[in-house]
Structure 1
Amino acid sequence: MSPTDSADRTYDELVAEAAAVDVSGWDFSWLDGRATEARPSWGYQRLLHQRFTTTESVLDLQTGGGEVTAGAAPLPRTTVATESWRPNLAVATDTLGPLGGRVVEAPDEGPLPFEDAAFELVIARHPVVTPWAEVARVLRPGGAFVSQQVGPDSARELSEWFVGPWPDGPQARDPEVVRAAATAAGLDVVDLRLERLPMEFFDVGAVVYILRKCVWWVPDFDIARYDDRLRAMDAHIRQHGSFLAHSSRFLIEAHKG
């Protein structure tokens, strides 16, 4: 769908369509032509592909639907992924299973159901929380943790449209806070990079879809509850062509001595 096609449809049509879409997994292809987000310069999936060629065992934490790791195939000989949200478990198994991966249920904050020093590489894309002590435990000596994470103030403009101004102050997703946590777990941070990137939404349906999928941006999101703000968003997009927000991403690599 193009922005022009969206402009020809009513608010109710766009919202109803977005409300009916399956939002399990981490495949965002439904947004093609309806929203864009610039990608970080380091190319996380490309980095994984490069690492996989020299790695025998990898643990993918909080895999979602497994799409990101699958896109970096071929997978290492031993590839295991964890996921805590049950609707995603089946999706991830269908995605990674045919490629030789195994998916297990595990809580985001740990503990992880694996032996000490079980993996050469641990990866995580946009983890809800990083269980640093568990990461250090399951890594082999000389192993690496490579993760792309959501940084501070990500999608702030979008969230504030619905819930009002965010409070100022320290944020848990500050890269330096994360560096300190990794160091406290006994890991050596060898790379830490932060980028802030534009994201545009070209119709209100795209906004509904993303708020249903990324529930932490507006935790109490409900179409009826936020009908007035959604209609205001629809009017804004029709007037200006899009709604502009910014994502925040950082890359961290930490090694176990």
Structure 2
Amino acid sequence: MSAQQPSRDGDDRPRGFEDLVAEGAAVPTEGWDFSWFEGRATEARPSWGYAVSLAERLAGARAALDVQTGGGEVLDFALGRAAPKAPVLAVATEGWPANVAKATALLRPRGIAVVAVAEDEPLPFADAAFDLVSSRHPVRPPWAEIARVLEPGGSYFAQHVGPRSVFELVEYFLGPLPDEVSAVRHPDRERADAEAAGLEIVELRAERLRVEFHDIAAVVHFLRKVVWMVPGFTVDRYEEQLRSLHERIESEGAFLAHSTRHLVEARRPA
């Protein structure tokens, strides 16, 4: 989401609930381009600057794989910044058909193939095929497969979504959820899973970041785009909660939540 302060692009006319909800429901959700949120929602960025850090690692890699690449935006940026030292071989995987098409259109001009692979399927690559595997916000990191396709001494470099991320918003719609719901995303759990797959953790950093939603259109679009937040979300199903939240934002200001992120660097022992 946008890291900028909210604005109304010079138009201060009030907009009603129905208009805002309709706008949020009409925006395409493919890829991981969050530029539409400019002026509607803000999210603080992690201090480590993942995309720039990924570019630095790509500049030193020979064969790289980006897992669950989304629309390819982060990989495209990082490869562009790494040029002309980008790896000789680079490939990406993605499971959502709409994102496969978007990532292919974006990355093909760079000579990068995007392979359609569901998140729970084995990676269709040989053992020890890559010296760098990366991922930004994988649904579930496939630790065993990551370890398998990394060559000895190779690294996994990623930014993961942490536990209870934006749960203030999630629990507004679903009610209080048990800690077990997000336990699989806890850094300690991911450290254990990575080590169980035979990887060594080189670095693991976590941060909690401020998120603000400035209108109900941003809430609707966010929940349509990040579909696992409120499973089965539709405007009709949650119209009562949406209307109440719209009134709250109008009277009290932005809805405040917090995202959690962690930076992971792991290595396959040489």
TM, length-normalised to structure 2: 0.92
Aligned equivalent of 1:248? 260
Deviation per CA, 1:5-31: give whole Å up to 9, x if none.
477111111111111111011111111
User: 1 CA distance for matches of 2:98 and 2:41?
Assistant: 25
Kept in 2, the 8 Å contact 1:120–1:140? The answer is yes
What's the CA shift for 1:109? Answer: 2.3
Gaps of 5+ in 2: 1-5, 81-85
Aligned equivalent of 1:146? 157
> Aligned AA for 1:191?
E
Give the count of matched residue pairs.
257
Kept in 2, the 8 Å contact 1:19–1:209? The answer is yes
Question: Paired residue for 1:156, among 142, 167, 184?
Answer: 167
Aligned equivalent of 1:24? 30
Deviation per CA, 1:5-58: give whole Å up to 9, x if none.
477111111111111111011111111111010011111001111111111211
Aligned equivalent of 2:83? none
Q: Does 1:183 align with 2:195?
A: yes
> Aligned AA for 2:103?
A
> Aligned AA for 1:18?
G
Listed as ranges, the matches of 1:157-172 within 5 Å are: 157-169=168-180, 171-172=183-184
Deviation per CA, 1:46-96: give whole Å up to 9, x if none.
111111111121100000100011111234221100011111111000111
* Identity fraction in percent: 53
> Aligned AA for 2:252?
H
User: 1 CA distance for matches of 2:154 and 2:134?
Assistant: 11
What's the CA shift for 1:99? Answer: 1.7
Q: Does 1:227 align with 2:232?
A: no
The two structures, once aligned, show a CA RMSD in angstroms of 1.4
- CA 1:52–1:148: 2 relative to 1, 3 Å: same
Kept in 2, the 8 Å contact 1:83–1:105? The answer is yes
Gaps of 5+ in 1: none
Moved more, 205-214 or 217-226: 217-226
Kept in 2, the 8 Å contact 1:7–1:238? The answer is no
